[in-house]
Amino acid sequence: MNLVIHGFNLRVVNVYSPTDSDDSENKKDIFYRLLKKAAVKQEKHQKLIVTGDFNATTSIAYKNCNFDGKTFIPDEKCNGNGSRLKGFCRGSQMGIASTFFDYPSEDRWTWISPDKKTKKVLDYTLVQSYVQQYITECKATNEIDFDSDHRMLKKQPCTHQKLEKPENILKQTEKLWVNGT
């Protein structure tokens, strides 16, 4: 979905990945190939947000580690989908938004087992670093009650300040360089 909000051009991609218990690795290969195509920006200054159920387990989702897709962060627990998720982040230069915040684990888990004993983070929001600076909150919430074993992942953008278009920032920088100030 392409959106323009206050002159800010966004491409939002919502996903559902095959589970890690699926028999076919082929399904996951197809999913990530389609995701890569869907995550292509339609315009030069468009910013990308990818969000949804990646069915990925990675220990970096449980801590404030600023996973930006560029830096290597040791991962004590990672399934196949977790490796694919981190690989997609590295290839797309996107970070996991929730890892930039210091939340307790209770505010991080997005899925609960039918017996209510196992809680995991399976849902993620991936953003480019430019977008990350405007996200002030990214955590799981029970605020919306719907019949699901998942909790909603709430993202709060910074809306109290007007966002400048990247080309306007570039023009201002060029003016500074030309004027020598």
Per-residue pLDDT tens over the stretch 72-103: 888 889 999 999 999 999 999 999 999 998 99
Structural domain total, the chain:
1
- Contact between 158 and 131 under an 8 Å Cβ cutoff? The reply is no
pTM: predicted TM-score of the whole model, two decimal places: 0.80
Choose among 21, 19, 18: nearest CA to 34: 18
Go through 64-83 and write b for each residue having 16 or more CB atoms within 10 A of its CB, e for each that does not.
ebebbbeeeeebeebbebbe
Cβ neighbors of 125 (< 8 A, separation 6 or more) are: 49, 50, 51, 96, 97, 98, 138, 153, 155
Quick one: pLDDT band at residue 53, thresholds 50, 70, 90? very high
Dmax (CA) for the chain in angstroms is 66
User: How high is the pLDDT of residue 178?
Assistant: 41
Instruction: Quote the domain boundaries for residue 47.
Output: 2-179
Pairing of strands 8-16, 135-141: unpaired
Q: What is the CATH number of the domain that holds 101?
A: 3.60.10.10
Angle in degrees, 0-180, between the axes of helices 80-92 and 25-38, rounded to the nearest 10: 20
What is the residue whose two structure tokens read 């966002």? 163
